[in-house]
Amino acid sequence: LPLLLPVLLWQDARPVPGRFELLAADVGQGNAVLVRTATHTLLYDAGPRYSRVSDAGARVLVPLLRALGERVDVLMLSHRDSDHTGGAFAVLAQQPQARLTGSIAGDPTLQALGPAAPCLAGQRWQWDGVDFELLHPLPDTMGKGPQGQRSNALSCVLRVVDAHGAAALLAGDIEAAQEQALVARGAALQADVLLVPHHGSKTSSSAPFLDAVQPRTALVQAAYRSRFGHPAPEVLQRLRERGIAVVESPRCGAATWASAQPDRVGCERQDRMRYWQHPVP
């Protein structure tokens, strides 16, 4: 299980204009990544629900945001699955000003979160000299055919690029078919750090996709001894064959990355090991 309150490696100072930082929270089997620029904050996914009375929002993200003194501008829920949306209610209760966006249409429970703007390829904006662009899903795939009905296939794929060209790619739970489509249409995929699609599932991280992204580092957010077998051995092999550094949340804990130092990832469990923690093999 993730820690009740992640102790942070992050400096109090925010990134300078033109730079950004990521924090991949230690939420277990799910995604939750904080993106900070000089004056703005985006939360990509809200982690899983652990039980009827416990979720990553209340246990991890709300304490994290409070400890950092963060004011979230945008909460982006990549798709409807509960390991990405489980903490959303708690986060929005603490951050009512956050604008909600994502691929969550059609889920009655999530509609109770309030109005949500759909994420669609081609949407882009800039904060403090840092560019944000959505690469997926395409508008014409929404609600059409089998792909349009599958939550994973509609995941918001977000690319963030700083003023000096350092980039991050957050890929939700897209699978090989969506990866192939992105590569085929020549989407700008190159990134220094990749949030590995679908927690490292064997259905994702295809060779052509990895060759197009060319990341230095691959972040895998998955549970310790994941019951789904994440990350899959074949995915790890493809990453390592390409010389991509793999950072897994069970070993790393909360992971931090700064576009100003694109070849370095900070790991909470490794840099600030607590006496009650045991090494993950």
pLDDT at residue 279 tops 70 = no
Which tokens go with 38? 């000089």
Strand (E) or helix (H) holding 93: helix 88-94
Residue 117 has pLDDT above 70, yes or no: yes
Nearest in space to 257 (alpha carbons), one of 270, 272, 247: 247
Q: Is 81 exposed, middle or buried (0-12, 13-18, 19+ CB in 10 A)?
A: buried
For domain 21-104+112-263, the question of CATH label 3.60.15.10 is answered with yes
Nearest to 21 by CA among 3, 2, 42: 42
User: What are the strands of the beta sheet with 41-44, ordered from one edge?
Assistant: 99-102, 74-77, 41-44, 33-36, 21-24, 255-258, 265-267
> Which residue has tokens 């949500």?
116
| Residue extents of the structural domains in the chain | 21-104+112-263
Q: How far apart are alpha carbons 142 and 86 in whole angstroms? A: 23
pLDDT single digits (tens) 168-225? 999 999 999 999 999 999 999 999 999 999 988 999 999 999 999 999 999 999 867 7
22 pLDDT exceeds 70?
yes
In three-state secondary structure terms, 152 is helix
Model pTM above 0.85 = yes
pLDDT grade for 274, boundaries at 50, 70 and 90 = low
Predicted local distance difference test score (pLDDT) of residue 47 = 95
User: Can you tell me which residue has the tokens 């990355």?
Assistant: 257
Confidence of residue 24 (pLDDT cuts 50, 70, 90): very high
Rounded to the nearest angstrom, the gap between the alpha carbon of residue 244 and the centroid of all alpha carbons in its chain is: 18
